[in-house]
Amino acid sequence: MAPSGQIQKSKTKAPKKKEQDEKEPEVLSKEKKQKLKELDEYIEGVLEEAGEDFLDQFKQVEGQ
């Protein structure tokens, strides 16, 4: 710990944003949008398939 008792922030720099992000914002944004759309549809599908009783069926015996 710092001798003064003060918190010293890590000297490591924050990771830079990917170069691709800066070069091709439009393409990436389109691709990203598509992925998010796909993800949303997937989540909707999974939860619909799991059904109303899903949570009630999620019952376990106490473990360690």
Partner 1 sequence: MRERIIGTECEYAPVYHGRTSTDAHQQKEADFLGTHENLAVALMKGVRSRIYPMVGEFLGNGGRLYVDRGGLPEYATPECRNIWDVVAYEMAGDRIVQELAEATWTEGASRKLHIYKNNVDYYQSTYGNHENYLITPQGMGRIERLIPFLVTRQIYAGAGKVMPSSDLKDITLQITQRADFFNSTYSDRTSEIRGIINTRKRELPRQGKNQRLHIIVGDSNMSQYAIALKTGITSLMIRLLEEDALGDGLVLEAPVKALKSISRRYDAPVDVSLLGKAASYSALEIQSIYLEKAQRFYATHGADPDESRLLALWADILEGLRQVKLSASGLEIEDDPADMKRKIDWVLKLWLVGRQRSKGARLRLLRAMDMKYHDLDPSTGLYEHCRSLGLVDQLIDEEAILLARHRPPQNTRARIRGLVIEQTHDKKKLDVQIENWEAIEIRTRPEKQQAIHFFNQMKHRIHALKIRMEDPLKADDPGMLKELERFVGAWG
Least separation in angstroms between CB 46 and partner 1: 5
Which of 13, 19, 23, 26 touches partner 1 (CB under 8 A)?
A: 13
Hey, what are 31's tokens?
């691709």
The answer to the question of residue 19 lying near partner 1 (CB under 8 A) is no
Residues 20, 28 contacting (CB under 8 angstroms):
yes
Please say which residue, 27 or 46, places its beta carbon nearer to partner 1: 46
Render the burial of 37-57: b for 16+ CB within 10 Å, e for the rest.
eeeeeeeeeeeeeeeeeeeee
Q: Site residues (CB under 8 A) for partner 1?
A: 1-2, 5, 7-15, 17, 35-36, 38-40, 42-43, 46-47, 49-51, 54-64
